[in-house]
Amino acid sequence: MTTMDRLEKHTILLRGDSPQDVKTAGEILRRGGLVAIPTETVYGLAANALDGAAVKAIYQAKGRPSDNPLIVHICDLSQLPPLVRQLPESAKKLAAAFWPGPLTIILKKSDLVPRETSGGLDTVAVRFPAHPVAQAVIREAGLPLAAPSANLSGKPSPTTFAHVREDLTGRVDALLDGGDCAVGVESTVLTLAEGTPRVLRPGGVTVGQLREVLGEVEVDPAVVHRLEEGAKAASPGMKYKHYAPQANVVILDASPEDYRNYVNQQPEAFALCYDEDGDRLTVPFVSYGSRYDHEKQAHMLFTSLHHLDEIGARTVFARMPQKRGVGLAVYNRLIRAAGFQILRPRKALTVGLVGPTGAGKSTVGKLLQQRGCAVIDCDALTRDPQVYDGDCLKELQAAFGADVAAGGVLDRALLARRAFATPEGRKVLGDITFPRIARRLLELRRQAEDQGALAVVLDAPTLFEAGLDDSCARILAVTAPEEVRLERIRKRDGLSEEAARLRMGAQKPESFYTQRADSVVDTREGRGLEALVAPLLEDWLPGEEERCL
């Protein structure tokens, strides 16, 4: 097969690794044609951004509403100033930090940019892609290129060449094969056109990274909610139902355990789940990454949505991503694929409260309790008399000696010495006690829900090691600077600095908790903890789009 195969009379296939094919793509674009090109985020459908008629052809090929603005792609910083009225210092800082890369910057447009490209707005969205083939095509064309995702409007964005061929064959002049896309979700869109910098669409550059460069950065409410009725979309991906497979997608706001229990009771359903869920589901499933690996989720999401179409899914229940870091971009795409349909199997979510010693978990737990949450001390639960009933004591005596519970009274120190002496002993202890602890925990959770708790918070230092995160719909990590934690531990426990540091060093690093968390609260002095706790409760309570069972 040659590098330029004709699929139909309108569309030719080109290869990104062929300099001649890249040159051909540039020629087509200069003539006002349409070419699907690879980028590091998703494939884009490119046209001359300065030619209104060529841009109109993009809308027609995609079936895209013309009031949805397009992103202009450049391959050199010198191409930016002619497109905008002025170039603020903040834009230069962002370009230095993140270009080439998955960040789109919105600025006031110059007269050079036609209304067709800006969606009728007085602003223009500009990006410098990192993909070498995209850069080569822009250079060959000698023009900035308008390029939304190369799919039919409303469908999942294409991250492979096969996706592009399926949607656009016969609709455009050429398709340029550049392999699979590395990032997997579209770029972050940040507006600098008015007041405080504001994220309009999350992507591969996170809100935290932007704040490191600019300081204050807001997140537009439309990132996680529907655009208000009558409001104009300032960015691609804000206004219409996007990224949707043919199936009806419903997001479940639930713990892994509750998610699986609910989905397994829906015999006609398919699951869009995490890697960890698959072997415990009884319905057909497609996974889109690991629970705590947001980058993999972003890379896999659109491919997984396409796969659901391929296997004929009609009703899909999806795991809800974390709304933090790159996870916010995954949530933004998935909530639109679901048409904002969210279901809660439980009204009161279970939240895991974690963090290193001295971080202030107890302080945060008390604040949450004052706000109507039930807080369960999981350390205390391991010593609950209802766990160590008569049958439990008999099993412990059989395994570790009658004297560990002489007279029906548990000698915890003796039990610990014998059980922890060998790996086998630890396992036997866990096999005996953990099922009972889990049952008692479930009883306490149900009691809290019946009593109307806003959320059930598990204060569990070893939440992940014990597998209790499987019961949690949210993870809240509490942190504080190392020196603050050191002083707290010394004051609380009367330890020397050396002893306190040894205790801190024996625990998981702070990053272990924060990388797995939905939210992070820093308890250093003067942080205004009550103000930090308020938005947590807002997230834990059912939102406008959510339906509780």
What SS3 class is residue 174? Answer: strand
Question: Does residue 365 have a known ligand-binding role?
Answer: no
Contact call for residues 56 and 223 (beta carbons, < 8 A): no
DSSP 321: P
Rounded distance between C-alpha atoms, residue 44 and residue 24, angstroms: 17
Rounded distance between C-alpha atoms, residue 223 and residue 335, angstroms: 10
Structure tokens at 398: 């059989």
Q: What is the dihedral of CA 434, 440, 444, 447, to 10 degrees?
A: 140
Q: How far is CA 165 from CA 7, 245, 460, in A?
A: 9, 16, 50
Rounded distance between C-alpha atoms, residue 44 and residue 238, angstroms: 18
Across 355-396, the runs of DSSP E, i.e. the strands, are: 374-377
Structure tokens at 542: 């059912």
Contact call for residues 162 and 101 (beta carbons, < 8 A): no
Strand partners, 84: 109
Question: Does residue 358 have a known ligand-binding role?
Answer: yes
Across 427-488, the runs of DSSP E, i.e. the strands, are: 455-459, 474-479
Residue 347 neighbours by CB under 8 Å, 6+ apart: 449, 542, 548
Question: Does residue 362 have a known ligand-binding role?
Answer: yes
Within 13 A of 92's CA, how many CA atoms are on the CB side? 6
DSSP 302: H
Strand partners, 379: none
Query: Is the bond preceding residue 345 a cis peptide, omega within 30 degrees?
Result: no
Rounded distance between C-alpha atoms, residue 532 and residue 467, angstroms: 27
Rounded distance between C-alpha atoms, residue 247 and residue 310, angstroms: 11
Burial label, 121 (beta-carbon count in 10 A; 0-12, 13-18, 19+): buried
How would you classify the pairing of strands 474-479 and 519-522? Answer: parallel
Strand partners, 315: 248
Task: Give residue for tokens 């610990």.
Answer: 416
Give the closest residue to 442 by CA, choosing from 396, 369, 368, 381: 381
Q: How far is CA 403 from CA 202, 386, 407, 415, in A?
A: 60, 20, 8, 9
Structure tokens at 81: 């100033």
Question: Does residue 360 have a known ligand-binding role?
Answer: yes
Strand partners, 45: 36
Question: Does residue 363 have a known ligand-binding role?
Answer: yes
Rounded distance between C-alpha atoms, residue 319 and residue 327, angstroms: 12
Task: Give residue for tokens 């000696």.
Answer: 401
Which amino acids are annotated as binding site, given as ranges?
Answer: 358-363
Binding residue ranges for ATP: 358-363
